Amino acid sequence: MIKTIAILSQKGGAGKTTFAVHLATAATLAGLETAIVDLDQQATAEAWGEWRDDAPPQVLPAKPATLTRELERIGKAGFDIVIIDTPGAADSAARMAAEVADLILIPCRPVGFDLHAIAQSAGIVKSTGKPGYVVFNAMSPSARALREDAKDVAERYGLSVAPIWLAERAAYRRSVEQGKTVQETEPQSKAAEEIAALWDWTRSQLTVVTRTHSNKEHT
């Protein structure tokens, strides 16, 4: 059964699209048929997909009003994973993506304004009842105290924090500008290791979701 991941952030510049394309490409490299649904009017993920010259993962534009129909079409086409890239500060689009998702991931930079903005995402996660996690990115590798402080803030909003975090690395920007990801341009890099670890953890969360659904079906 197809699994859907919604990438949410109510603040622009949180790195949602970079996060989405890296996670989708990691899933593709793991052998899964993966699609990105771009709900953002800026169509950044769609542009990245065009730069790849039709190499997977496939990037598909959609609007909130047509999201459910698009997901049904993708499911019938045999895809395994769908990652929804949502616009910043668009509560209705983010809420709709969250409602159809099996897992919600919230990329967040560990700084004041970004941490404050996750309160809105926390409200969406709570209202949908879906599993949701903050994933810190653009972190300083040596800022352990900062990570702990940021984690405390997220947990005060009632959000769980993923055990994998992404460091501030130029490799992410360089790869995306080429229509690729760090696993493709710098496969031996620390950045590639981070993305591989993030995908392994994300896949484990989807397995938990699958088992939970399976248990419900047999009760």
In a domain, 166, yes or no: yes
User: Residue for token digits 């990570």?
Assistant: 147
Q: What is the pTM of this model?
A: 0.90
CA–CA separation, 92 and 155 (whole Å): 24
For 75-95, b/e burial (b = at least 16 CB within 10 A) is: eeeebbbbbbbbbbebeebbb
The domain in which residue 194 lies consists of 3-204
Helix (H, G, I), strand (E, B) or coil at 111: coil
In a domain, 100, yes or no: yes
In a domain, 126, yes or no: yes
| Per-residue tens of pLDDT for the chain, all 219 residues | 899 999 998 766 778 999 999 999 999 999 999 999 999 888 999 999 999 988 999 999 999 889 999 999 999 999 999 999 998 766 788 999 999 999 999 999 888 788 888 888 999 999 999 999 999 998 877 667 777 888 888 889 889 999 999 999 999 999 999 999 999 999 999 999 999 999 999 999 998 554 444 443 333
Q: What CATH number did the domain enclosing 186 receive?
A: 3.40.50.300
Count the domains in the chain: 1
Dihedral sign for Cα 189, 194, 195, 201, please: positive
